[in-house]
Structure 1
């Protein structure tokens, strides 16, 4: 078999490929131009992912990436939003409703940050709020004197106390 028309067919094939590639590049660039900008959830995911890959988190990279992906999915499905400070305060007060008496009063003090110290961090497992309530003793009663040396031994404790260190 002889192919006398090979150069002509090759030329036609190259022309067809060039035309189709021009249309496909145009279509791709048109899709890129019409693409919606990333949502805040997608932007947050990209930031979280970058932090995971850079090792800027307290968890392993695998866990971090998994959590970032799960947060993005949850945001897409439920349109999650961060609560406002007033919503957070209302939620704190609502948790106190199940309590009564002094416990409820102390809970509301912690919710309002009255006489309360806060320590901890989200990365460390959460914030810890502590309120110290001083309960005065009854007037006229002496404080109890406790002498461990004269107390009977407990089942878990030593039978004799170790000697006091001398300075």
Structure 2
């Protein structure tokens, strides 16, 4: 499996050499660093997933599937919040945009976003 993955990575590196954006040498260097993190067990992912994502960094433009532009991040936040009931969606979007407090990290297992909003008690 690892040899097949490495062969695929080498092929991807040679195909993507000279593509617009990050140079092939820079992508190869980034891949080697990310691969080392995977092999050392320093990632919070399974080794197989980690190596697959590291190999994706070799694609032209660094196409890893991870949102990176402000528009991508906004679309991702909207998609995450879309699954919530309508009355909770706006609060979710506010939290995703940085309102409220944030604790934790992805490395620690998760990010807790909390936003306290005043509500009115229904009349009896």
Category of TM-score, reference length = shorter chain:
0.5 to 0.7
The aligned counterpart of 2:71 is: 86
Over alpha carbons, which structure has the higher Rg?
1
Q: Which runs of 5+ in 1 are unaligned?
A: 1-34, 142-167
Could you say which residue in structure 2 is the equivalent of 1:15? Answer: none
Q: Aligned pairs, how many? A: 101
Q: Please, what TM-score do these two structures have when normalized by structure 2? A: 0.54
Per the alignment, do residues 49 and 129 of structure 1 end up closer, same or farther by CA in structure 2, a change over 3 Å counting?
same
Q: Is the 8 A contact 1:41 1:72 kept in 2?
A: no
For residue 39 of structure 1, report the CA deviation from its aligned partner: 4.0
Higher RCO (CA-CA < 8 Å; seq separation 6+) = 2
RMSD, aligned α-carbons? 3.7
Q: 1:40/1:85 Cα in 2 relative to 1: closer, same or farther (>3 Å)?
A: farther
For residue 48 of structure 1, what is the aligned residue in structure 2? 34
Correspondence 1:73 to 2:73: no
TM value normalised by structure 1:
0.43
User: 1:73, CA displacement in angstroms?
Assistant: 3.2
